[in-house]
Structure 1
């Protein structure tokens, strides 16, 4: 057609000309099964002209010949068609599961997807877990999730880590454990008590017997929408651990072997003084005090070799710890049945001197079966683990490593026995090697889930769970652990602990799902019946006649029982959920639970918890169709209540203790029938955005949790006859903050793939209410408007130029130092934290690394180092100790006087010792190679991968101690491993 006449037309003539070619197009949009799809967006590409299909999938739109119509609807591939004379208006859309829809999220009692979830649930997959050479599954989450604080007590395997989800909710340090569920079975996550070294640290990790390679995913549930269905157990968040169901679903039989070996070492050492520096400091201290050194108060100056220079850090924690891990599994499946059976063996040594080691063996079974008509389904999982721990926390070795003078005597004599000569101030550091600790733990976790579809959409379910855990510990103090000069009067002894934890749970449920056009309803109702039984027995055997008999209680002259108790905890609940999905754009989730717990008084034993959550996928609205860069947008919010019953059992009962005289009892705590639940009210709002076909994803969440009705011991006046009563304090704790997740996949093709994700958390914790705080015993611990983790400190006032000693401010001028002078309120802990994870794939090569960052304030190394001038090594900073006016005032004048020690102790309770303990750590680094399929076909192998991994590779920090995370304990070990994975 000649365009010239067209260009000469007026605007009104052009409109008439175009309308001649426009036509009204009508039709129906169906899916691949021929079912009409209501709510489909239909637009004319490049224009604002659009419409939406009605409930019968019908639409009508005006378009011109040559225009392109675009049909789009969530869950289906976008369809484009050009209008021509043959176009009938009938359209069939193909289903399409996008990246967000593919990510299935375990919400506990039901499953959802990343796209449709209304609550705050974050997930870590098996690929991120199994590459890490760890024994605790919780430690695999470090740096990978916003709102989740995880810290190690030390670098020794078997120690329980600390996990907090969205801050500290309780005045009790033991009241912040999250609920941990493995395949539907709740686990007791509290550390196992120990009579040995672990008891003086964090306790033992009850989850260390799990096999990390057998874990499919770990989900963390945080807000009210996600946790309220767990009621009283969800106040501190929920950790859901799901084990693997199958190795490869596309084959009938599959065998997998995964093996790696490696070595661990201490990742950082302190900068301590050498012999020359140390001796000069000691001589200066004696000179400043005007005291003459003697063989008693200064053996390093008069008795010990002045030229000997030993790196005690190398001696006590400089060894290499070998690691070996072997995993084997077999899976098989047919149309109705599949199973996975596996086993593993893990062993590692120690960085300390001596024959220390840790061994773990696990076995797992997962069985799935369905009837021919698929109405009946059965799933059984069983995980068994046993470990033998011949380790200890190493606190003694760490203390010796940083305090022993570098010219201290040799530890061994020429004949290889322990040297006791010359150790005039302390005993031989390696005497502890003759105090062996043996810990054996056995853990069985089993779960059976039954499901029967009564009618279409209506199913009956039942969940049965059982756990049985035993932990036995023996510490033997042999004769060689004592100085031979004391052998005439010492008594050989042993300490024994026996802990058993048994639990069962039964949860009958009914589930109903039904689609009413574009309205989808999901309803769930159920009940929980649970019982936990815990027994603790702590014994001491005394008076053994020979080392060979130590530990055999039958050979002891006396057996003392320090603890013998049995605790039974019962719990029952009713719960329900209603999920509404309208047009796959509008979501509403209602959950509720009524709980009853044996831990509370008879007047307040039951309570209700609930939540409402909603989400709107606004990117599916027609008015946003002109934003091609926005591929996904969702607003969600939730509010509700959860509770906490994490208190000692029988706390509401009156208690008695035995009097000093025979046959007498006296009361220690009165009966409190109104002892009740802590209540945590949770509010959250969040925005999720996807850009450029979801190559860039952003999630921003704001939350506020308020925990009230605090459970703790309330002090009573002496006139009542009791010291305290277990009660609910009128106190409220608030945790609020911002959480950010950014995921970017800028390059995605067959040759090269790059994906990076960043998580970032800005938490805020404070005590917002505490009635009569100033009149309670907690006034020296907490302040309203301040975080729970605070230090009330003196104000450091420099160094007195006349004495050279530390000086603190007498705030009220009364001539003495007491609590009234502690005018500095210093928040401790994290201000913000996060992690950066990168994954690169080029051909068959893969590179992955995780960087963890924590901004925090804490105590400096000064609090745990030797006072300036006293016996014992310390950091080189002491070389810059104050000598005269004008010198730096960080370290007082070298001295051993009582007055100097008093001023030192006061300064250690001032703001002098608070510093920035932030750190950046390369947490993980992995390199892998996947052999090409063509090569494997010749070997008859389905898959073969080689990999190498580094853990805790380096840490950047201003902290001068061993580690800003573990403080005075052994730091997280630097670990290197290499191995292979073979699938047949």
Structure 2
């Protein structure tokens, strides 16, 4: 007691909150931000009661030596609204003195711990140094470390972006440490438009941020697919073309009738061109390719931020009209050299397929349809045997290191995959270099370079032609499918091998499926080079200037070969050859001046002013056609009948912009943004104005900081409101049309008043945090109206022009996006759970608006507009409907009593044409995603369940299978003696399905299915090997088992409603021999040195 009593005067010097936090050996923060403040007014109270009071007000768990606390004198505290961070930075003085009273004769022992951020997330790569006796290590992927130390040693923990922390060890051997963000990041910071960093607290719009783990846990060749079901307000559809295909990403509904509706991708603050054309080649030949964003290696990505609304994307002007996905790539780290290695292998099988019959065969061997008698024994043929086990293999390596003033990262990655269909391959090789340097105290530089080599082979999304799935699905089970695997036979007359397929093309362009997959090739190869440089100069403590430049060039080669023996619809008797080359050049420049100033304790200002320039050039040349003289001699110069064709386009976008944020007492904020644009698609000769202005305004208030709200109930409360306008200029070549004098099928009339589409958006949101930030609710309600739609109208009555483009129409989107997340710790079990909800109501408010036909001087009065569809399933825009409304016009004929009409002469039935009848919308009513992560002693489990509720789709695949008698239902009806129609049994099953089916010639209304589905989308089980296994000197190793699309909880359609054959706006929900989606199982291993 004498020793402790002698220290009492020293305690009086630093007693305040510092005294209350003495003896703290470490602090665990459960999803708490450092915005907490503490008010205590107690005198001469036991230290234990003080610690309890701190814990109740702040939500911190305070760990201390109970013996010293019980022996300590009473303390005093008189604090009003004091920040916790201030106390944490100063408690060490008395702590250091009291620790000397403990025994110093404790032997060296291993200390283990885990390091987290203030939200409870594990921090990898944190440097841990024993300053007292030497030795160091770093945290592994799960934030864990192991280091030898003894009582009284001081550990120093540091990581870029976080406050350096020193801990004096007590008798604990298990540590749970929280690193606090740097002062500039004390309140969470997020990267927003143009790479501008802002405080989450001050944002006036909704932002959703995701760490790299969300896209590397279950890897996809196109990492965007890994975000499905995780972002509120966003619909993501993967391509049915298979590995590496383009992804459809729509935020807050489709807005443009004729323009693009996909989100913009931005990498490190700079927009990148999307090289995907958007859609398959139509219903008959669904050949597709990848897109620009799929070139990136997911291992090079640090984080992804979703900006779903125009208020968040206003600084991008017309490019950000459909929302933005911000991709932030990794940087090098300071300190010792770090090496990271990763490998993952996934294996695929078909996920959702139609049901087939194997009990009825052909009427005769020459027929392909299966309307014959029951087979003596059931066939063992299954279309699944055509599909192989696909695989997707990732290998990646990176090395980083540097000093505090200069850091470098280099990585290399390889992605090799093969789809379900033979010779459908995807290969991508990435090389990435990034260097950051603090050149002077005022000047910093950031340089990066990336090279990508990508090739894909035989991608098919869906369609009737060049699609091996057509003959596979319609194959008669009475025949032996195996004999067609040898797809060619030697022709002694021609002295070459030609296709073996005795069934001819069946009027569908059908061929031997192995001939399509093995003999014919479609290869796309892309070489992409991307270089960027950023310089930032700090003119003063409140002003800096940033300049950026990026050059993104790619050269794409494509080649199609169809050998002799291919059916005449697709090649001559000698074959077919097509080759092409497309060069894309994208240049981006911007210059931004950024200022921030605190005028007083009440007022603050942040402002950014800048200008940008973007130039996009596409130059393509293609040649080829049917071979003329020599079989299988693939040469353009000597052997094809079509001249070369050239495709050229160039667009420029010049802009100036400014954004200002005013702050009042650090709780009330107002954003003002403006952007002027000069798009080259609007030349002065064909537009009222060649420049347009897009404004936005937003207000947010952190009411929990302004009013005295009980922290026990609500730890954080914020409301926000915003308004924004953005636009979308006409596509290239519309405002200044060029047409051929030879081919006069498309001759647009000139129009002198083109304007960009304009989207006006309102949104209001709220963010609430409960239970010391363990539970967070974020909800946004929005409405947008997109006017000045670019509409195309046939120009009847004109002898010169064929079509006319004009601005009219209004599309409204109204909806709610919300997320609810929870993070809790129960002893050593961590549980993080997140629920996202998206609801959007799309509505066509106006179409032609009575626009005057320039040829007839009469107004257009069409209240309906056919924009897409297939066969009888027509996508029609109607005032009052949605942009995905479908109509039919073919139904079975009925008699006067509403029963099925049967011809009394031959007992046949018939279809009749009726006025268009609405059958539903392909848009969902709402989407849900539930993501969970559990972690316990180095083992973690995560899973994602998502649901799409509402909407319809049509399956022409099922229609054709019924018509050919190979569907399961056609066999069941034959077993039952007929088909139940309108409550009566119709015995002619073949006649019934031949009338209904026949694919695009049939009646789509009988093949419409609900698109509602609920699935287990992702599962991952991981284990972090203890570092003690390697004597604390080996690598940090993580092993994982992964699965994707494991099973459906609910699905009534014969295809996957979430896959798409097109990234375009229309024809969603149409299945016409679509490639099945994938179910995958795999494993991964990751090591860090």
Global fold match (TM > 0.5): yes
Matches within 5 A, 1:78-117: 101-102=187-188, 104-117=190-203
Matches within 5 A, 1:696-711: 696-711=775-790
Q: Shift in Å at residue 717 of structure 1?
A: 2.8
Q: Tell me if the contact between 2:408 and 2:435 (Cα under 8 Å) persists in the aligned partners.
A: yes
Report Cα offsets for 1:365-420 as digits up to 9, x if no partner: 111011342x1010112222111212321642222232211123445379784573
Residues 547 and 136 (structure 1 numbering): CA distance in 2 closer, same or farther, change over 3 Å? farther
2-side partners of 1:228 and 1:38: how far apart? 29
2-side partners of 1:180 and 1:486: how far apart? 37
Q: Tell me if the contact between 2:920 and 2:952 (Cα under 8 Å) persists in the aligned partners.
A: no
What residue number does 1:60 align with?
none
Q: Shift in Å at residue 154 of structure 1?
A: 0.7
Q: Shift in Å at residue 754 of structure 1?
A: 0.4
Count matched residues.
879
2-side partners of 1:942 and 1:539: how far apart? 54
Q: Tell me if the contact between 1:118 and 1:613 (Cα under 8 Å) persists in the aligned partners.
A: yes
1:753 alignment partner, one of 826, 830, 835: 830
Q: Tell me if the contact between 2:487 and 2:501 (Cα under 8 Å) persists in the aligned partners.
A: no
What residue number does 2:651 align with?
569
Residues 961 and 199 (structure 1 numbering): CA distance in 2 closer, same or farther, change over 3 Å? same
2:613 maps to 1:543: no
2:729 maps to 1:650: no
Question: TM-score, normalised to structure 2's length?
Answer: 0.74
SS of 2:379's partner is coil
Q: Tell me if the contact between 2:777 and 2:821 (Cα under 8 Å) persists in the aligned partners.
A: yes
Q: Tell me if the contact between 1:793 and 1:826 (Cα under 8 Å) persists in the aligned partners.
A: no
1:817 alignment partner, one of 913, 918, 941: 913
What residue number does 2:804 align with?
725
2:734 maps to 1:638: no
2-side partners of 1:304 and 1:899: how far apart? 18
2:406 maps to 1:337: yes
SS of 1:674's partner is coil
Residues 933 and 103 (structure 1 numbering): CA distance in 2 closer, same or farther, change over 3 Å? farther
Residues 964 and 654 (structure 1 numbering): CA distance in 2 closer, same or farther, change over 3 Å? closer
Structure 1 portions without partners, runs of 5+: 1-26, 31-36, 47-64, 82-93, 283-292, 809-815
2:1086 alignment partner, one of 960, 967, 981: 981
Q: Tell me if the contact between 1:761 and 1:832 (Cα under 8 Å) persists in the aligned partners.
A: yes
Question: TM-score, normalised to structure 1's length?
Answer: 0.82
What residue number does 1:944 align with?
1037
Report Cα offsets for 1:691-742 as digits up to 9, x if no partner: 011000001110111111002323323236322222212x111111111100
What residue number does 2:845 align with?
768
2:1023 alignment partner, one of 919, 926, 929: 929
Q: Shift in Å at residue 923 of structure 1?
A: 1.4
2-side partners of 1:209 and 1:930: how far apart? 30
SS of 1:342's partner is strand
Q: Tell me if the contact between 2:900 and 2:981 (Cα under 8 Å) persists in the aligned partners.
A: no
1:855 alignment partner, one of 949, 957, 974: 949
2-side partners of 1:907 and 1:434: how far apart? 30
2-side partners of 1:964 and 1:38: how far apart? 44
What residue number does 2:125 align with?
none
Matches within 5 A, 1:117-516: 117-154=203-240, 156-172=242-258, 174-192=259-277, 200-246=286-332, 249=333, 251-274=335-358, 276=359, 278-279=360-361, 309-317=379-387, 319-353=388-422, 355-373=423-441, 375-393=442-460, 395=462, 396-410=467-481, 412=483, 417=488, 420=500, 422-424=502-504, 425=506, 426-432=510-516, 433-481=518-566, 490-516=573-599
Residues 157 and 894 (structure 1 numbering): CA distance in 2 closer, same or farther, change over 3 Å? farther
Task: Identify the range of structure 1 (892-901 vs 587-596) with the bigger mean alpha-carbon deviation.
Answer: 892-901
What residue number does 1:788 align with?
883
Structure 2 portions without partners, runs of 5+: 1-14, 19-33, 43-48, 50-73, 91-164, 166-178, 490-498, 852-859, 867-875, 1060-1070
SS of 2:708's partner is helix
Q: Shift in Å at residue 186 of structure 1?
A: 1.7
Matches within 5 A, 1:544-623: 549-550=633-634, 552-561=635-644, 563-602=645-684, 603-623=688-708
Residues 507 and 583 (structure 1 numbering): CA distance in 2 closer, same or farther, change over 3 Å? same
SS of 1:830's partner is coil
Q: Shift in Å at residue 872 of structure 1?
A: 4.7
What residue number does 2:1058 align with?
965
Report Cα offsets for 1:843-894 as digits up to 9, x if no partner: 11111111121113213436642275x4352233662379679766699764
1-side partners of 2:956 and 2:640: how far apart? 45
1-side partners of 2:249 and 2:745: how far apart? 38
Q: Tell me if the contact between 2:845 and 2:880 (Cα under 8 Å) persists in the aligned partners.
A: yes
Q: Shift in Å at residue 268 of structure 1?
A: 3.0
Q: Tell me if the contact between 1:358 and 1:391 (Cα under 8 Å) persists in the aligned partners.
A: no
Q: Shift in Å at residue 40 of structure 1?
A: 7.8
Q: Shift in Å at residue 755 of structure 1?
A: 0.5
Residues 777 and 263 (structure 1 numbering): CA distance in 2 closer, same or farther, change over 3 Å? same
What residue number does 2:820 align with?
742
Q: Tell me if the contact between 2:818 and 2:838 (Cα under 8 Å) persists in the aligned partners.
A: yes
SS of 2:1052's partner is coil
2-side partners of 1:338 and 1:39: how far apart? 34
2-side partners of 1:324 and 1:547: how far apart? 37
SS of 2:429's partner is strand
What residue number does 2:869 align with?
none
SS of 2:902's partner is coil
Q: What is the RMSD of the two structures over their aligned residues, measured on CA atoms?
A: 3.8
2-side partners of 1:925 and 1:122: how far apart? 22
Q: Shift in Å at residue 123 of structure 1?
A: 1.5
Report Cα offsets for 1:192-230 as digits up to 9, x if no partner: 489989972554322222101111111111223311111
1:716 alignment partner, one of 795, 800, 805: 795
Q: Shift in Å at residue 829 of structure 1?
A: 1.9
Q: Tell me if the contact between 1:800 and 1:807 (Cα under 8 Å) persists in the aligned partners.
A: no
SS of 1:207's partner is helix
